[in-house]
Chains A and B, each alone.
Chain A
Amino acid sequence: MSDESNAPQTPLQQTVLHAEHKALGGRLVPFAGYEMPVQYAGVVKEHQAVRTAAGLFDVCHMGELVLSGEYAAQVVDYLVTNDCSRLQDGQALYTCCCNEDGKVLDDLIVYKAARDRFLIVCNASNRAKIVGVFKKAAENHCDFEDVSDKTALLALQGPKAFEILARCGGDGPGLSQLRPFSFTDGVLCNVRATVARTGYTGEDGVEIFCDLADAPSLWRQLLEIGREFGIEPCGLACRDTLRLEARLSLYGNEIDETTNPLEAGLGWVVKFEKEMFVGKEALKAAKEAGLPRKLVGFEVTGKGIARHGYPLQDKDGNVVGICTSGSPAPTLNKNIGLGYLPAALAEVGTEFFVDCRGKAIAAIVVKTPFYKRSKGN
């Protein structure tokens, strides 16, 4: 470990829950310009809490944009690959936002609050870029506001999430009626909030938007009420292992401005039947030409752990692809990964090697998601 004292000193932002993380003994690390908790009790313990009970995440660093006005719906729909016109008020969808080349600028959740009002949640690391894209497109067409710095976002995830919400008073008990990818305004623990049945863990649960001033109180009350259900405060480390088991893409790993949604397995959020959207022509051409590579899930069968950036080799040792994410999977007790392989090597059951720092470790393409929660959980 060397002191990087000559590294540029960009001051890190803190979320409104910073003092809570310190009080809970969270280990704070720089992430997307913020000082964020990477873990509290430990990644495996937190991961298991989300799979079997509940976990609470600070995701205040995410970006939130509001587009409103008569033509807000058209602006949003033009910028994203999924079809927002089918959303009812109070419904949300997952989508990509591409450039004209059909490459991924970010992945987003679009929430339709009303016919003329949309909330967009983007990755913290892409906030400036996405703000730029949406602000420019909104010009002369609809109102745009970046509300990231006045919006707190907490994620309560896990099979016990709704039992915990039911004890939060106000509108908590009714939230189990909320359908997946729907959201509603309400009061929880005496705090006015917007609650969405969305998440990034592969588990049931909600994401809760509230005012900055209310976030610490809501955070503390959820942990207090959740204690008897086995809730844990959860950091970025388990957020990553949870999303990987569920095969959810991470921007900067599986998707970025060198990848298109089709090869990333996100063709289901690209709606070619839409009249127009940014990147449509390029994506159509890519689809018609056939995809040279595909994102696959794999299990490491040899003794090793695949990591982001490790080369993937065919059976003759030729480098043919790259690992985008890899980790031990705490729920599965296996070492798993995602990566790009040539289409011919992307079939389930194909054997290949991961170059783990010079050692060729055997791996096999498997079906994904690696983990799927059982229904009724």
Chain B
Amino acid sequence: MSTVPADLQYTKDHEWARVEGRKVTVGVTAFAVEQLGDITLVSLDAKVGQKIEAGKAFGTIESVKTLSDLYAPLSGTIVEVNGALDSAPELVNDDCYGKAWMIVLEADADVTGLLNAADYEAHLAKQ
């Protein structure tokens, strides 16, 4: 089974969010990585300073067989983009909750509406 760290929050689209006040680090979950398989390309189109709305794509992740959009879990301003994934997309397979974080957002408002780990696990059970 895929791991679901208790200290993170989640979306139904299988992004995770580490919420520290309004600073929110975003990546994809182990479940998403398992579904995709060997990650071969991560394209983070979002730029630092750019505003993004919840549910809008900030990039794409591709495996050998498929491409998936990456969605912002909430609205905010992008304050960091993980450039390391550009040359090392395999980090997503190795460490999706750590080194393969994708963007950091400064949320527009207090963070609400994301799934906690238990809710996300319940969501996975239905997949």
Contact = CB atoms under 8 A, between A and B. Distances in A.
Contact of A237 (B13, B43, B64): B64
A328 B61 CA distance: 13
Contacts of B13: 1
Interface string A315-336: 0000000000001101000010
Interface string B3-33: 0000000000100000000000000000000
A305 B67 contact: yes
Nearest to B93: A42
A42 B37 contact: yes
Given A305-B62, A357-B60, A43 B67 contact: no
B64 A241 contact: yes
A303 B45 CA distance: 12
Given A1-B13, A357-B60, A303 B41 contact: yes
Name which of B40, B41, B65 has the most chain A CB atoms within 10 A of its CB: B65
Q: Summarize A's interface: helix, strand, loop or mixed.
A: mixed
Name which of B13, B64, B65, B86 has the most chain A CB atoms within 10 A of its CB: B64
Nearest to B127: A1
Interface string B58-82: 0010111101000000000000000
Contacts of B38: 42-44
Contact of B64 (A1, A44, A303, A357): A44
Contacts of B60: 357
Contact of A304 (B41, B63, B64, B127): B41
Contacts of A38: 65
Contacts, number: 39
Contacts of A240: 65
A43 B64 contact: yes
B107 to A, nearest CB: 25
Nearest to B66: A307
A307 B65 CA distance: 9
Contacts of B86: 303
Nearest to B68: A1
A151 interface: no
A305 B37 contact: no
A303 B43 CA distance: 9
A280 B53 CA distance: 58
Contacts of B41: 303-305, 328, 335
Given A42-B37, A43-B38, A327 B65 contact: yes
A75 B62 CA distance: 46
Contacts of A44: 37-38, 64
B40 A305 contact: yes
Given A43-B64, A357-B60, A328 B40 contact: yes
Contact of A330 (B43, B64, B67): B64
Contact of B37 (A43, A304, A307, A357): A43
Interface of B: 13, 37-38, 40-41, 43, 60, 62-65, 67, 86, 127
> 9 smallest A-B Cβ distances: which pairs?
A328-B40, A44-B38, A43-B64, A237-B65, A305-B62, A328-B64, A305-B41, A42-B37, A43-B37
Interface of A: 1, 38-39, 42-44, 237, 240-241, 303-305, 307, 327-328, 330, 335, 357
27 contacts: A1-B13, A39-B37, A42-B37, A42-B38, A43-B63, A43-B64, A43-B65, A44-B37, A44-B64, A237-B37, A237-B65, A240-B65, A303-B41, A303-B43, A303-B86, A304-B41, A304-B43, A305-B40, A305-B41, A307-B67, A327-B65, A328-B40, A328-B41, A328-B64, A335-B40, A357-B60, A357-B67
Given A43-B37, A328-B64, 7 more contacts: A44-B37, A237-B65, A240-B65, A241-B64, A304-B43, A305-B67, A327-B64
